[in-house]
Structure 1
Amino acid sequence: MDEQLRADAEVLWHYHHLRHEPRRTDVGIGLGSHDLGVAGYVAELYHAGRFPLVVFTGANAPTTVGMFPRGEAVHFGEHARALGVPATAIRLETRATNTGENITFTRDLLRDHDIREVTLVSRPYQQRRAYATCRKLWPEVDVVCAAKPQTLDEYLHTIADDDRVINMLVGDTQRITAYAERGFAIPQPLPATVRAALQRLIDAGFTKRLV
């Protein structure tokens, strides 16, 4: 990747980081994906006392079925238990195949709980879209978004698939506007610098995750 495209990827990376102030909430919700690090960070936050209850949500997408054949939520839950989160604190939502379903199915799963504040734990570049989706579909709760603190370089090294990460970063950025227009999420600001970086990456061929 040339220097300009790498800089553009950094622009998108920082755009998705909401930098919410950490606080204790009623539940931590780990959004399923290809990134098992989400489950690891949920475990870290649980042990830090950020929430007493954990929900992992996700069935499979075409990009994850090979890694997590029994479903994202199942594998994430197993990973969290291996990191010391007690099984009694974990709930699994195993049907969701997109972020909207992650939110709505988890909301339904927790209907009998008094949930007023939630922590959404996701891939670093999914934070803004997860927030916008939750505010639209579960407006009665306060939302804190969280992701493992790391640089783009560190994340690329962890995933070891630059093409996949950049394509998903581009796709998540495009969805900010596209999903708000379709009524799936609340609108989010999209600065001109972000629009320009997004377009250059699309023009460079990072189009595999566009809707």
Structure 2
Amino acid sequence: MVLGGPRHLVVVRMTAQSTTVQDALFGEPALVETDDHGPPATQDPREVARIVATAQEPGLLLIERTGLVLRADPARPGCADAVPRHDGDTVVQLLDTGHLKLGGTHHIHHNGSEGPARSILVPKATRDMIARWQHLRPIPQRPATAPNTPKQTRQRSTGVIGVDVVQPGKALVTLGATGAGGTVIRDGGRYRVENDHGALVGHASSYRAAARLLARYHGYTPGPVEIEHEHRTYGR
């Protein structure tokens, strides 16, 4: 059985439909459908560069009668294997555009058959084009951020927090010069913490802990706490 003699290039249409994802030379990656209207054209420069590199080493060949593209087997001189369909379509595209050229005829063994196949050559203009692509650098991109993510701001400190024990079990809290504060009232074995309007903020184990709780409630970083009259008059 022979591969067939030299004839004009014939591209055999495939009836099965499939798709392939390509990175476009211009624009976003696209899903390209391969149907019975012929092979899709690739716009991916990396695909083109890969095919050109394969044509140079180990080499590509074309059976003109069937349009089958073969890849030379460097481990078996004179033998070749069929390339994937998408690679074959890309080779045909590059031949049509002149980026690849047909060379001399060689006697090739393939899949138990043998016959003539044309070598595929890479013109100097194509090699220069690939070299220019290899020197291109991608444009740096800023890391993506969520559009509604609030910017982190440094939390302000209250400065010195004043705790004034006005009567046993009750203290008024002043958060430095912020103008904010609250009230701390003994409630059984713990302290009830209220804001300036008497609304419950939470509970704490001591005046000092209550002062820090109020600072965080108002959005401040707690500063040093100074307690007036507590130890001198009433005790805790």
State the TM-score, normalizing by the size of structure 2: 0.22
Q: When you count helix as a share of all residues, which structure comes out higher?
A: 1
Structure index of larger Rg: 2
Q: When you count strand as a share of all residues, which structure comes out higher?
A: 2
Structure scoring higher RCO (CA < 8 A, sep ≥ 6) equals 1
